[in-house]
């Protein structure tokens, strides 16, 4: 019963936070105004800047920020105990993650929908802008290189998810046309799309479709990477309302409804128990994961790595890119920012809470291992015998899928449909992150090209050289991003020879850097939000502690990975690539912090030059 109570209390806590702390931030700190003209209206171009219903923007935002992060992070971090993982998810989401996402969204709304990297050049200085953009470029390159592998791995593990995920694309295009061209009401298309998608889950792995799924699941990783990056290119250059926006929206309907089904499963399993196939008596829903386990076998120390491992479920730097890169260009009313930015992160926090319960309790209801049914602590130990055994992508995804599927089966859903539905949920999250990351990388490339080479079309200035001019074009910037990501993916990991087996896994080379780099990005985003408010004489006390925390934890984790056994630079065979990038990342962070400390006392109440949101009384030079 405690598992159900935890889910209900967590959900209630998120709702209370939204209507209290979130409302205070919106009205007293960010001062959202329904009369303000948003970038989507002022710069409307029908491609990136498109005024959109807040429910649709929420769907895009939620599915883009979630990805697989709130699943795989909690699924491995629970080894330190479900209590630390749960506390970080709930408190982190409310007081750090949601504030970060909301703040980045509002600051971008007030700056023509520009990314936080671009805005850093005005609220701090131009050097910080360049450093920030380079950090964004590196982080997004890793995401693009790795997520094709992630989706391919999920498809190989759960082939029944392939057809439902593919069908989402034409459904999304139809929805996009109906909403944008025909201006029809949102309700009926939403219901129809949701029904069709559930039908594809139920009947999408029978007969010819089963053969179709099996055939595509057999594709080499490299083939999937090329196909998925090619799709990302198309999704990135098309008008946002054509594919990206409606696909994310209908995905959000399916994902949120799946969360509702899991909650029904929690109620059923808590009150009636669950009898897995092969068992003679019902199993009780209770935590089989330890409440605390400070030293799991093979795991790094809980501080700081808990706060790096669980990112998207509590706070993630990637979210500032979505908030300021795509969502801010679609909102048609400033007050909608609280629903999308603060509410989207709380929804993700609730998802991470459900993942912790599914892995920590749902898994104990039954796990089939080599033909033998395991229950209770035996099931937990079989899945989580060591950090290394539980840390692979298939193990982390499998722990959640199996645990959540047990909960779905407790309300009468067949095993194959339960597994397929959870597989679709994971693959869909990864897919929405991939195509959104590609569009975000396009913006970053364009901003970098204009920063280094000068903007195309500016009067009375020399035009940039041809390469920089091409990279400011949406097609040129997107192709550049895809080529770089494809090249990284093509590199065999671990110095292995190139082969079809290894190709497509190159993103794994830099993936160990992503956790700390991603959280560092959150700290730097907090820095931008703090300076934006500080220059306007607003309160920043609620940002200072989260900002310092998110600057210290990543540098602590990166230093440990560099210099403590088995560190990248002190191993018997040092990894100079990871070591040099890690050192450079630490150097960039320290440089930006020094720039901020020097500027902070001089910036209070002094608007940045060319402030876009109001006429300044005093202007900084």
DSSP letter string, 140-175 = HHHHHHHHHHHHHHHHHH-GGGHHHHHHHHHHHHHH
Rounded to an integer, what distance in angstroms lies between the CA atom of residue 227 and that of residue 213? Answer: 16
CA 609 to chain CA mean position, Å: 33
Per-residue model confidence (pLDDT) at position 506: 84
Give the SS3 label for residue 352: helix
Burial 360-390 (b: 16+ CB within 10 A, else e): bbbbbbbbeeeeeebbbeebbebbbeeeeeb
Please check whether residue 163 is in contact with residue 201, taking contact to mean a CB–CB distance below 8 angstroms. no
DSSP H helical ranges for 114-125: 116-123
Orientation angle between helical segments 69-77 and 393-409, nearest 10 degrees: 100
- Exposed/middle/buried for 602, CB within 10 Å: 0-12, 13-18, 19+? exposed
The neighbouring-strand residues paired with 372 are 369
Going by C-alpha positions, the residue among 267, 278, 283 that lies closest to residue 375 is: 283
d(CA 398, CA 393): 8
Q: How far is the C-alpha of 471 from the C-alpha of 465, rounded, in Å?
A: 10
What does the DSSP assignment read for 53-78? -HHHHHHHHHHHHHTTHHHHHHHHHG
In the numeric block, the tokens 């190989």 are attached to 156
Q: What pLDDT sits at residue 619?
A: 40
Please name which of 430, 350, 366 lies closest in space to residue 402, comparing C-alpha atoms: 366
Q: Are strands 372-374 and 367-369 parallel, antiparallel or unpaired?
A: antiparallel
Q: How far apart are CA 522 and CA 289, in angstroms?
A: 30
Question: What is the distance between the alpha carbons of residues 292 and 82, in angstroms, rounded to a whole number?
Answer: 7
First-to-last alpha carbon distance for the chain, in angstroms, is 61
Token readout for 400 is 């959640």
Q: What angle separates helix 116-123 from helix 318-325, to the nearest 10 degrees?
A: 90
pLDDT computed for residue 236 by the predictor:
92
How crowded is the C-beta side of 470, counted as CA atoms within 13 Å? Answer: 7
Q: Please give the Cα distance from 598 to 595 (Å, whole number).
A: 5
Structure letter (DSSP) for residue 37:
P
- Look at residue 545 in the predicted model and tell me its pLDDT: 94
Q: What are 144's two structure tokens?
A: 């693009």
pTM: 0.94
Q: Which two tokens stand for residue 148?
A: 């094709």
| Of the candidates 488, 438, 445, 437, the residue with the CA atom closest to the CA atom of residue 470 | 445
Task: Provide the pLDDT for residue 460.
Answer: 52
What is the block-wise mean pLDDT of the chain (621 residues), using blocks of 10 residues? 94 98 97 95 94 94 91 95 98 98 97 91 84 85 89 93 94 90 83 93 92 94 92 94 92 92 95 85 92 93 95 94 95 97 98 97 92 92 91 91 95 93 92 92 92 73 77 94 92 75 81 90 94 94 95 94 88 88 87 90 88 55 36
User: Cα dist. 229→15, 149, 151, 418, 473 in Å?
Assistant: 37, 11, 11, 29, 19
């Amino acid at each position: 019963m405690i598992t159900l109570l935890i889910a209900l209390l967590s959900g209630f806590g998120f709702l209370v936070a939204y209507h209290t702390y979130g409302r205070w931030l919106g009205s007293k700190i960010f001062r959202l105004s329904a009369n303000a003209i948003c970038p989507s209206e002022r710069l409307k171009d029908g491609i990136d800047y498109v005024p959109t219903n807040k429910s649709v923007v929420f769907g895009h935002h939620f599915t883009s920020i979630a990805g697989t992060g709130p699943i795989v992070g909690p699924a491995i971090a629970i080894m330190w105990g479900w209590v630390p993982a749960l506390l970080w998810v709930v408190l982190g989401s409310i007081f750090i993650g949601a504030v970060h996402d909301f703040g980045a969204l509002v600051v971008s709304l007030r700056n023509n929908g520009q990314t936080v990297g671009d805005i850093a050049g005005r609220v701090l200085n131009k050097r910080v802008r360049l450093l920030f953009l380079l950090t964004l470029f590196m982080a997004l390159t890793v995401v693009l290189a790795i997520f094709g592998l992630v989706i391919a791995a999920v498809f190989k593990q759960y082939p029944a998810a392939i057809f439902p995920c593919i069908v989402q694309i034409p459904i999304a295009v139809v929805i996009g046309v109906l909403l944008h061209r025909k201006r029809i009401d949102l309700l009926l298309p939403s219901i129809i799309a949701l029904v069709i998608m559930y039908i594809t889950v139920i009947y999408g792995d029978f007969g010819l479709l089963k053969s179709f799924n099996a055939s595509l699941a057999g594709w080499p990783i490299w083939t999937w990477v090329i196909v998925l990056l090619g799709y990302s290119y198309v999704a990135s250059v098309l008008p946002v309302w054509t594919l990206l926006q409606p696909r994310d929206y209908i995905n959000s309907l399916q994902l949120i409804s799946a969360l509702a089904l899991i909650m029904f499963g929690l109620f059923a399993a808590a009150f009636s128990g669950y009898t897995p196939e092969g068992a003679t008596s019902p199993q009780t829903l209770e935590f089989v994961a330890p409440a605390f386990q400070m030293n799991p076998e093979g795991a790094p120390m809980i501080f700081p790595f808990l706060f790096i491992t669980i990112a998207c479920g509590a706070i993630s730097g990637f979210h500032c890119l979505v908030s300021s890169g795509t969502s801010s260009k679609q909102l048609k009313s400033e007050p909608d920012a609280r629903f999308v930015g603060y509410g989207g992160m709380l929804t993700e926090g609730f998802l991470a809470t459900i993942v912790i319960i599914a892995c920590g309790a749902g898994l104990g209801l039954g796990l089939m291992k080599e033909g033998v049914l395991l229950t209770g602590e035996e099931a937990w130990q079989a899945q989580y015998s060591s950090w290394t055994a539980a840390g692979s992508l298939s193990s982390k995804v499998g722990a959640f899928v199996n645990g959540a599927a047990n909960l779905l089966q407790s309300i009468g859903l067949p095993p194959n449909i339960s597994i397929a539905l959870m597989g679709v949920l994971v693959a869909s999250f990864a897919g929405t992150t991939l195509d959104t990351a590609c569009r975000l990388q396009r913006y970053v490339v364009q901003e970098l090209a204009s920063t280094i080479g000068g903007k195309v079309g500016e009067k009375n200035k020399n035009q940039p050289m041809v390469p920089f001019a091409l990279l400011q074009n949406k097609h040129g910037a997107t192709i550049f991003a895809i080529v770089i990501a494809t090249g990284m993916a093509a590199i065999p990991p671990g110095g292995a020879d190139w082969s079809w087996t290894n190709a497509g896994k190159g993103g794994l080379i830099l993936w160990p850097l992503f956790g700390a780099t991603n959280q560092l990005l959150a700290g730097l985003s907090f820095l931008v939000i703090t300076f934006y408010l500080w220059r306007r004489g607003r309160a920043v006390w609620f940002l200072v502690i989260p900002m310092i925390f998110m600057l210290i934890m990543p540098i602590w984790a990166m230093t440990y990975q560099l210099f403590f056994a088995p560190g990248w630079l002190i191993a018997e065979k040092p990894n100079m690539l990871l070591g040099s990038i890690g050192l450079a990342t630490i150097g960039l962070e320290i440089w930006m912090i020094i720039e901020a400390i020097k500027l902070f006392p001089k910036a209070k109440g002094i608007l940045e030059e060319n402030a876009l949101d109001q006429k300044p009384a005093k202007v900084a030079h």
